[in-house]
Structure 1
Amino acid sequence: MRKKAAITSIMVGLLLFVVWKYSARRVSDLILPQPADVFTVLMEGFIDGYFYPHIMTTLTEIFIGLLIGTVLGIGAGIIIGESAFLRNVFSPYIVISQAIPKIALAPLFMLWFGYGMTSKVVITALVCFFPLLEATASAMRQVNNEQLALFKLMHASRLQTLWHLKIPGGLPSILQGLRVAVILALVGAIVGEFIGANQGLGALITASQSMMDTTLMFAVLIILALIGFLLYGLVNLLEWKLLHLKKGEEKH
């Protein structure tokens, strides 16, 4: 089944490439550049090192923001998930904060933190924070009642129950939140660079727009797609390793 799905996925990709190639023949390069021109710009940009500083800037913003958002989101999710009182107190504010588009706060963060990397990291951390908060808080409440009763019977402390039962049991939900956060981290960093930056892939897209260089814009979009795909794959790898480790511990 997986092999069939993989072959079908490749065929769909080839079909999209063919549609792109023949559609580009019918319109101006300013609207839709030829695939060959885009890949030429990609190759030249990597060979002469033009893309590397921009890629490193964006990746740095993503990883720092994702790290901060993950630590704070999981930590806050555990606290809220463990305390019904805090959950009732903060739930309205969480709902309100979710209703506000985080990207709309980007100009405000630029004023507060300047146009350097700090503002982009803050935006990235913020967009990562809420999916992980929601996923972790939900995971803490989805514990198996029979296992919880067993832990109480064994007089396990609250910390022991949390560490050995609730977090391992909620790991799939937490990792699902991380999977969402990874993609949002890329979006947050790029949007921050759109608003104000002189380096980074988002800044490069803005520059290509001002120069009306659609070919360069497509090349950067392909780089962003590859980064998103790799980040998503890393989370899947992390999930596989953690769940594999968990199964090994359960057998012992």
Structure 2
Amino acid sequence: MMLKTEPMPTKAGAALAAEGVQIGFGDFLVVDGVDFAAGPGEFICLLGPSGCGKSTLITAVAGFEKIKGGSLLIDGEPVHGPSPETGMVFQGTEALFDWLTVRQNIEYGAKMRGVSSSERRRISDRHLELVGLTGAANKFPSQLSGGMRQRAQIARVLANEPRVVLMDEPFGALDAQTRHIMQTELDRIWQKSGCTIVFVTHDIDEAILLADRILVMTAGPKARIKSSYEVDLPRPRDETSAGAIELHKKLRSDIGEEVRTALRNQGLAKENS
């Protein structure tokens, strides 16, 4: 018998603002003077060369990293530490508990909050359906493919109903075909959940497929936001369309400049390269 679940509840995404953000260790500044804003329910992608501080920045938004200067605000309130308002999806799936089933992983946050077992069941049913894992509810993470484990991680984060979801290259370890499927699935999940997403990636095509807006960061140290691009293309996106190709060229040029800067900073490229 097929279980009929409740409609997925939509919880409005929160506005996010970074104003003059500095993050560093001792006297070393990873990012310096970062300014950007995300509207409620907006999908933002962060692009930039390796080591520019993309992951550090969203870790600070999640409340796991202290900022040295400036401010990070969610709906106008300063970020002082981890909060139920934010959820983090990592590249790897080590955050899943291997000794719990997929359902138990999804229910874990609600269980820690003292939610009743019947309500936890409703929560897990909704999110299993949302990510297409209803048939794998009683499996353990070790029994799943990489793509399925990443879906389980996304479901576990969304089950806590965060208003801002931070994603640190969540599909970076997947093969190309699975990655494309997951990109399509994330677009669908985001539109149903209503949350605000900030997504870190090195992949220009991935950013074009997913984002409402793409922010390019400069090379580190003391990285900042170099440029911002609105992705005014209809969904679902076609990366072979004229608009996508033109945007890809602009982004590749922007990032190429910063990669060359990063190499020069490391002494790996000539000054005039």
User: Does the alignment reach a TM-score above 0.5?
Assistant: no
Higher strand fraction: Structure 1 or Structure 2?
2
Using the size of structure 1 for normalisation, the TM-score is 0.29
TM-score, normalised to structure 2's length? 0.27
